[in-house]
Homo-oligomer: A and B are copies of this chain.
């Protein structure tokens, strides 16, 4: 089977999958989600995603008991049916279905939807070249630490970057100049050999790979500060990179209209990406050092 969806208790081809028009995700953005990836065909840091899923559910008051063995089994069954070497597994839980009414639905029924698509890794050239980012004022809602489908501002910011011939956008606070994150990835700066990334807070989705990488960097002798960063810090950085489930460790070579470093992914970025690849058991990108 090609791309696949699990919905209403059965697996169907993704292109044919349909959800009720009465699903609150559809008209109220009343849902949370996770995107898991595989390395070597196995789900990567599954528990980290489930921790965050529980946090998101709690944050927006959707009562749903996360049964990890059940969900892992469902994902693996979907992956088996789809048959890809590497998969991207999307899981969404909405507050339920019902005629459009803001009050929480009375029943305990939540809508669980799962999709399995083929993972298309970022091409090595893109890792080697690095990416260019614009800055956009953060116009999102107040609880971006919960992974909800309230993503229209992310869509608009990402498209604005593409329209300017860049790759993605960074959200910043128009008054304080604080930089939060990209439209689906966290940011790290490198300055004087130390890493810095914005601390957890309502404007940062605490990335599973962000945590994973902080830990990996520290175990490899790098110091990582979690503190607020602003536009000036970004401009003064020796290097910068994004982290994310599909992003891995991706160098930033231009941001806010200015070149970063020498215009290529920096040595610490490349080194960390190598360490990351090694730790997940996949072949490193040849950066041609």
Contacts of A29 in B (CB 8 A): 29, 149-152
Residue-by-residue, is A51-62 near B (CB-CB < 8 Å gives 1, otherwise 0)? 000000000110
- Taking a contact as CB atoms under 8 Å apart, the answer to whether B21 and A19 are in contact is yes
Residue-by-residue, is A137-152 near B (CB-CB < 8 Å gives 1, otherwise 0)? 1011111000011111
* Partner pick for A20 among B17, B25, B148, CB 8 A cutoff: B17
Check A155 for interface membership: any CB of B closer than 8 A: yes
CB distance from A176 to the nearest CB of B (A): 14
Interface residues on A, range: 35 or more
Contacts of A14 in B (CB 8 A): 21-22, 99
- Taking a contact as CB atoms under 8 Å apart, the answer to whether A104 and B22 are in contact is no
* Partner pick for A22 among B15, B154, B158, CB 8 A cutoff: B15
- Taking a contact as CB atoms under 8 Å apart, the answer to whether B159 and A102 are in contact is yes
One complex includes copies of this chain to the number of: 2
* Partner pick for A27 among B24, B117, B149, CB 8 A cutoff: B149
Query: Could you tell me the distance between the alpha carbons of A61 and B162 in the complex, rounded to whole angstroms?
Result: 14
Contacts of A42 in B (CB 8 A): none
CB distance from A104 to the nearest CB of B (A): 5
CB distance from A135 to the nearest CB of B (A): 15
Check A100 for interface membership: any CB of B closer than 8 A: yes
Check A30 for interface membership: any CB of B closer than 8 A: yes
- Taking a contact as CB atoms under 8 Å apart, the answer to whether A21 and B113 are in contact is yes
Residues A5-33 near B (CB distance < 8 A): 5, 7, 14-15, 17-30, 33
- Taking a contact as CB atoms under 8 Å apart, the answer to whether B19 and A99 are in contact is no
* Partner pick for A7 among B21, B102, B150, CB 8 A cutoff: B21
- Taking a contact as CB atoms under 8 Å apart, the answer to whether B150 and A141 are in contact is yes
Contacts of A7 in B (CB 8 A): 21
* Partner pick for A25 among B27, B33, B99, CB 8 A cutoff: B27
- Taking a contact as CB atoms under 8 Å apart, the answer to whether A148 and B156 are in contact is no
Given contacts A18-B18, A156-B60, contact A33 B27 (CB under 8 A): yes
Check A90 for interface membership: any CB of B closer than 8 A: yes
Query: Could you tell me the distance between the alpha carbons of A133 and B61 in the complex, rounded to whole angstroms?
Result: 21
- Taking a contact as CB atoms under 8 Å apart, the answer to whether A152 and B30 are in contact is yes
Query: Could you tell me the distance between the alpha carbons of A150 and B104 in the complex, rounded to whole angstroms?
Result: 16
9 A-B residue pairs with Cβ-Cβ distance under 8 Å, sorted by A, are A17-B21, A19-B19, A28-B149, A29-B150, A29-B152, A60-B156, A100-B115, A102-B184, A103-B159
